[in-house]
Amino acid sequence: MAIAYPEAPDDDADLSEINTTPLVDVMLVLLIIFLITIPVINTSVAVRLPRQASTLQQIQPETVVLSVDAAGAIYWFDARLSGAQSLGEKLKAIAAQTPQPEVHIRGDARADFEAVARVLAAAQQAGIARIGFVTEEPDHGH
């Protein structure tokens, strides 16, 4: 008389499937690290903005960004302007557009107020209706 033993479960079936959970975990961690470490660069003109509490606004694609660096030089987006006459011509062309774009002025905190005031006056003379100043949030810990 023969004794029948139950068959052992087939372990090969379990080993044929690859566990992808650790791979997905590692990929998600890498994705988060890359998202945090990628610097976001708005413009290439280096200016130190004054610190002022403000509400967050999204810059629209039609927004014109004027920068005034510490030496008083004026930039149209990233291109340096030769003088007040070229600034006035560009602003008049913008003022004629419908709808009129908003002008954002990025004035360096170290710049003389006179340089920023010249840009503001040129925008007003050209007929720009919406002018804003770009600032940074103040340090609350200091």
User: Tokens 């008083």 correspond to what residue?
Assistant: 72
**For each of the chain's 142 residues, which pLDDT tens digit applies?**
667 666 665 555 556 778 888 899 999 999 888 777 765 544 567 778 777 776 666 555 588 899 999 898 999 988 899 877 889 999 999 988 888 889 999 989 888 888 888 898 999 999 998 888 888 887 765 5
Of 18, 64, 73, nearest in space to 46 by CA? 73
pTM for the structure as a whole: 0.57
Yes or no: domain 64-133 corresponds to CATH 3.30.420.270: yes
The two tokens of residue 55 are 């509400």
Describe the strand order of the beta sheet including 131-133 as a list of residue ranges: 79-80, 74-76, 64-68, 103-107, 131-133
In the chain, where the domains are located: 64-133
Angle between helices 113-126 and 84-95 (to 10 degrees): 40
